[in-house]
Amino acid sequence: MIEIQAVSQRFDGPSGPVDAIRDVSISIRKGEVFGIIGRSGAGKSTLVRTLNLLNRPTSGHIILDGQDMTSLNAESLRKARRHIGMIFQHFNLLSSRTVYGNIALPLELAGAGKAEIDRKVRQLLQLVDLTALADRYPAQISGGQKQRVGIARALANDPKVLLSDEATSALDPETTKSILDLLKKINQELGLTIVLITHQMEVIKMICDRMAVMEAGELIEHGSVLDVFRAPQHPVTRAMIGDVISQDLPKGVLQRVRARLAQTREGEGQDHLLRLAFTGTEVEEPLLSEVVRRFGLDFNILHGQIDEIQGQAFGSLAILATGNKDEIEQAKAFMRSRGVTVEELNHVIAVD
Ligand SMILES: Nc1ncnc2c1ncn2[C@@H]1O[C@H](COP(=O)(O)OP(=O)(O)O)[C@@H](O)[C@H]1O
Ligand SMILES: [Mg+2]
Q: Residue 7: what pLDDT?
A: 96
What sign does the dihedral 120-49-182-146 (CA atoms) show? negative
Given a contact cutoff of 8 angstroms between Cβ atoms, the answer to whether 43 and 217 are in contact is yes
Residue nearest to atom 13 of ligand 1 (CA): 20
User: Ligand 2 (ion): which residues have CB within 5 A?
Assistant: 44-45
Q: Which helix (H) or strand (E) holds 228?
A: helix 225-230
Distance 45 CA to ligand 2 centre (A): 4
pLDDT per 10-residue tile (average), the chain, 352 residues:
95 91 96 95 94 91 93 88 92 96 95 95 97 97 96 96 94 94 95 95 92 96 92 88 78 84 77 85 69 85 83 85 88 88 77 56
Q: Residue 133: what pLDDT?
A: 97
Helix-strand-coil split of the chain, %, nearest 5 = 45, 30, 25
Name the 3-class secondary structure at 309.
strand
> Is ligand 1 within 6 A of the CB of residue 11?
yes
Distance 203 CA to ligand 2 centre (A): 15
> Which of 18, 88, 164 for a ligand 1 pocket mutation test, highest count of atoms within 8 Å of Cβ?
18
Residue nearest to atom 1 of ligand 1 (CA): 11
Half-sphere exposure of 214 (CA within 13 A, CB side): 29
Which domains, ranges and CATH numbers included, belong to the chain?
2-224 (3.40.50.300), 238-350 (3.30.70.260)
- Ligand 1 atom closest to 47 (CA): 17
Q: Residue 350: what pLDDT?
A: 57
Q: Which of 86, 78, 88 is nearest to 163 (CA)?
A: 86
